Amino acid sequence: MQALVLRGKEDLVCREEPVPRPGPGELLIRTKAATICTSDINDIKYNHFGIQTPMIMGHEAAGIVEEVGPQVSGFAAGDQVCTHPVMPCGKCGACRDGLHHLCGDMEHLGLNRGGAFAQYFVIRADRARKKPQGVSFAAASLVEPISVCLEAIHRGNVRKGGSVLIMGDGPFGVICSRLLKGFGVGQVIVAGHHPFRLEMTGASTICKDQGEVVEKEIFRLTQGRGVDTAILCVGSGTAVNTAIAVLRPRGTLSVFSAVEPAPAINLFRVHVKELNICGSCNDEDLLDQAVQVLESQPGDFEDMVTHRLPFSQWREAFNLAVNGKDQALKVSLLFD
Ligand SMILES: [Zn+2]
Ligand SMILES: [Zn+2]
């Protein structure tokens, strides 16, 4: 099969690889669509996670069950499925505590297990779901980003009628903003830099700057009260401090992005406003909810996949995902 293989930093190539075999409890999937994630781009550029190369990349994918491994029930060859790349071990301390998504020994497509930028990939059957009818494979590839964005919203204590500030207009900022429609939130404000992407958020209110300008604007928009929740969807220290400045007393910051270098934050404000700062990473069993969302608001996710290119044009696809911030949001590779 043809696959995109990371051979080392900034060295991604398309080459022939053997088709993987499904083990017990696993499915072999014929890939139909795989979307490029910001983390793929970072893995290729920096390899923060220390991926052992060579590794087939790609973790957001949907396709058709080609072969069912031993001890699998509920799936048959020909089923159209969407998949979640995180496969918890079920044995470590975090797993035993019920925090499977924070497993210290997880397997993850494209990180420590062959990924989905390939004509075929293997996934554990418990991490696959039937694709809702009427949703394209490209949009169905978004179930994992949708799951993790739902987690960021839950961790942010988002409440009916409350106000939410999303910091950042990348794919996660846009997905969070669209998901919030289903939470009955009173006010969604998105702060970002890219007019095209801000438009894509569909939020009623957008802020085009950073720092003090955003602070003043948010206090104006909330009649001086500040926001109930801020979701950090950008790796910027300035954004962290803006969020801390504009949260109302007892407000919550959901830290949904790596921030490097580590920012100096104003803990005095955290202290006097009794703020909650919490992390958000992966998702606590939100795959089924993500599939439901995809089924109930498919239009929101179809048009988020702004570009669908044949697998053979993978270089162009990555170029769009890296450099196309004024025209591209999620870029999908399509397979025959
Ligand atoms: Zn991803
Ligand atoms: Zn575990």
Task: Provide, for the chain, the percentages of residues in helix, strand and coil under a 3-state DSSP scheme, each rounded to the nearest 5.
Answer: 35, 30, 40
Nearest ligand, measured from the Cα of 92: 2
What SS3 class is residue 243?
Answer: helix
40 alpha carbon – ligand 1 mean position (Å) = 7
User: What is the per-residue pLDDT for 208?
Assistant: 73
Q: Which of the ligands is closest to the CA of residue 95?
A: 2
Least distant ligand from the CA of 330: 1
CA of 325 to the centre of ligand 2 (A): 36
Give the start-to-end residue ranges of the domains of the chain.
2-141+304-334, 148-279
Taking the centre of ligand 1 as the mean of its atom positions, its distance from the CA of residue 37, in whole angstroms, is 4
Q: What's CA 147's distance to the chain center, in Å?
A: 7
**What 3-state class would DSSP assign to 83?**
strand
Class of domain 2-141+304-334: alpha beta
**Separation of CA 149 and ligand 1 centre (Å):** 11
Residues with CB under 5 A from ligand 2 (ion): 88-89, 92, 95, 103, 105
Mean pLDDT per block of 10 residues along the chain (336 residues) reads 97 98 98 96 92 98 98 98 97 96 96 98 98 97 98 96 95 96 92 90 76 86 96 94 96 94 94 98 96 95 97 98 93 97
Q: Which ligand is nearest to the CA of 106?
A: 2
* Inter-helix orientation angle 287-296/143-155, to 10°: 110
Ligand 2 midpoint to CA 77 (Å):
29
302 C-alpha to ligand 1 centroid (Å): 17
Q: Which ligand sits nearest to residue 59's alpha carbon?
A: 1
Distance 86 CA to ligand 2 centre (A): 11
pLDDT of residue 267: 95
pLDDT for the residue numbered 209: 66
Q: What fold characterizes domain 148-279?
A: Rossmann fold (3.40.50)
What is the number of the ligand closest to the CA of 36? Answer: 1
| Residue pair 117/3 in contact by the 8 Å Cβ criterion | yes
Burial code (b: 16+ CB inside 10 Å, e: under 16) for 40-77 equals: beebbeebeeebeeebbbbbbbbbbbbbbbeebeebee
Measured from the alpha carbon of residue 145, the closest ligand is: 1
User: Whats the size of the chain, residue-wise?
Assistant: 336
68 SS3 class: strand
